[in-house]
Structure 1
């Protein structure tokens, strides 16, 4: 029988690479692939485009995650290191660049709770199980407002003989 490990706030805070991997996953595969807003006052978008009341602006997060101007030449790569500072701390990107938790008045208040829950569950699962993607499957995103995979993701799950 394995000894239980308590994942308190301090221990979870030290899981910098896991936090970075979650952020990178959310960047490349945001839970909501797009958001639309109706313009209430005349203004100018960062692109220089003029907007007026009644216009609808659609922000496609999936595409934004793959823009070199925002994320660099390696924008299509899964690279958790982009979320870690030179000092080994978590790098927080501005909400206008990393939209997974919204921005402005509609910013998600449960952001930290979401990261805490994700790190807790992932740590517990990885401690006891090994996950390997089944070879030969075609993994594609499904076109939808909510991000999901077209055919799901098949994995082989096996119990770890020894947990860490």
Structure 2
């Protein structure tokens, strides 16, 4: 649904797809970990997806000892704090006036590197002592699958299909995601 982002990802894949021994891009050569690290725009697009649609949309923590929240509110032991990551990803006070837009560029610095966003702001992998230990591996898997799929196929959401969340412990799509899948022309993704 975001052709500009798709175009940027495809251009990045063209620039960084692993080469064969003769230095030509080889469609059968998978990315290695270093190669995946060069896919900054793809990483940013995945972060943007997770910001807007975090898999775990609500998390809670119980206060262990008296503390003061950043808002100045005092909390006592036993108080249950609930964090609604789905809502937090859409809050102007956290993400700015364009918080409802899909904008991978927000994750990229002026020099083209990934922008560091604190875990308490980007809550998709939790934060603090409970941060997901598999976060880096999750990005390796997501980038590997996304690169292979986007390089080989074009995906179009079926016209008229309504995409809306179905609330459960893990955020799902209420009616799934109906798409048309078309084989991508080689010329669109090769150097």
| TM norm. shorter chain > 0.5 | yes
- How big is the alpha-carbon RMSD for the aligned residues of Structure 1 and Structure 2? 1.3
User: Alpha carbons of 1:3 and 1:62: their partners in 2 closer, same or farther (altered >3 Å)?
Assistant: closer
Name the counterpart of 2:32.
8
The TM-score, its normalising length taken from structure 2, stands at 0.81
Give the TM-score taking structure 1 as reference length: 0.94
Distance 2:74 2:169 in 1: 26
Q: Does 1:71 align with 2:120?
A: no
The answer on 1:134 being equivalent to 2:150 is no
| Cα deviation digits, residues 113-156 of structure 1 (max 9, x gap) | 11111111111111211111101011111122311111111000
- Structure 1 residue corresponding to 2:123, chosen from 65, 80, 99: 99
- Matched with 1:153 is 177
Change (3 A) 1:3 1:81: closer
Measured in 2, the distance between the counterparts of 1:51 and 1:128 equals: 52
Structure 2 counterpart of 1:25 = 49
Q: Which has the higher helix share?
A: 2
C-alpha deviation, 1:9, in angstroms: 2.0
SS of 1:35 mapped into structure 2: strand
Deviation at 1:67, TM superposition (A): 1.1
- Structure 1 runs (4+) deviating above 3 angstroms are none
